Chains A and B, each alone.
Chain A
Amino acid sequence: MLENKEKTYTRSHEPVFWGLFGAGGMLTAFLTPVMILITGLLIPLGIIDKGNFNYQTIHSFATTWYGASIVLVLVALPLWHTLHRIFHALHDLGIKRGRDWQQVLSYGFAFAVSVFVFTLLLQIL
């Protein structure tokens, strides 16, 4: 009988992306609201003084190795969270064509921006 044929199971590589998604989601949940509040609203609207958010302070912070890593994580990690969601949302919206390419473009985008920011930070280090 055909049933006797042992079914083969293929392990998914999703744990890698899910791990990044989870880490990014956690960071986003805790930090993104206050980051948007500071850089996008309070400072531009002049509600709080620029304080430490000026060129000199930011530049000297981002040119230390630990500062650069913090900046990289703050800017790039959320993208691994959001593009994971966008990739899956495309499926939810019924866009069935080219799932492979959708995957390459989604995670490729997160990767490209991460490399972009990494390179910039390396330049000014």
Chain B
Amino acid sequence: MSKRKPYTRELPNDWWMKQLFYTKYMLREGSSVFITLYSLILAWGILRLSQGEVAFNAWMQALQNPFSIFLHSIALAFALYHTITWFSLAPKAVDLWIKGKRLDDKIIVSGHYAGFVGITLFCLLVIIL
């Protein structure tokens, strides 16, 4: 008779807290919670915009609330974390070959960052000017 009795280990629900790499992955995925909140705040802003100037200005006023500032600071940190992780993984999904050689990862990543800086400056200028 076989003495085989394979033992199956269950993956514990807190697997992502037991190793830094997994924790960083979950933080990356968790960034989406704050970005969702931010999108909802903007959607609310559109609603207030449709209700007229008084309503819109009240929405702008509400954004000055210390809690709002706090929330947006955290959201900004998570959004930047998303940006960094997104750019660092971007080369893996790109399959560009030039003269028989794969386009260097560094070029892809720095291209993304250059675009990011350009877009950020452009947006700031559009608002200020």
Contact = CB atoms under 8 A, between A and B. Distances in A.
A117 B46 CA distance: 7
Contacts of B112: 29
B46 A35 contact: no
A34 B56 CA distance: 21
B46 A71 contact: yes
Given A35-B123, A36-B72, A113-B43, A83 B36 contact: yes
Nearest to B13: A94
B94 interface: no
A18 B120 CA distance: 26
Would you call the interface of chain A mostly helix, strand, loop, or mixed? Answer: helix
Contact of A79 (B39, B53, B87): B39
Given A36-B38, A86-B32, A113-B40, A29 B82 contact: yes
A43 interface: yes
B72 A88 contact: no
Nearest to A33: B79
Nearest to B47: A120
Contacts of B110: none
A69 to B, nearest CB: 13
Nearest to B53: A55
B81 to A, nearest CB: 10
A82 B39 contact: yes
Contacts of A58: 49, 56
Contacts of B68: 40, 44
B42 interface: yes
A33 B39 contact: no
B124 to A, nearest CB: 7
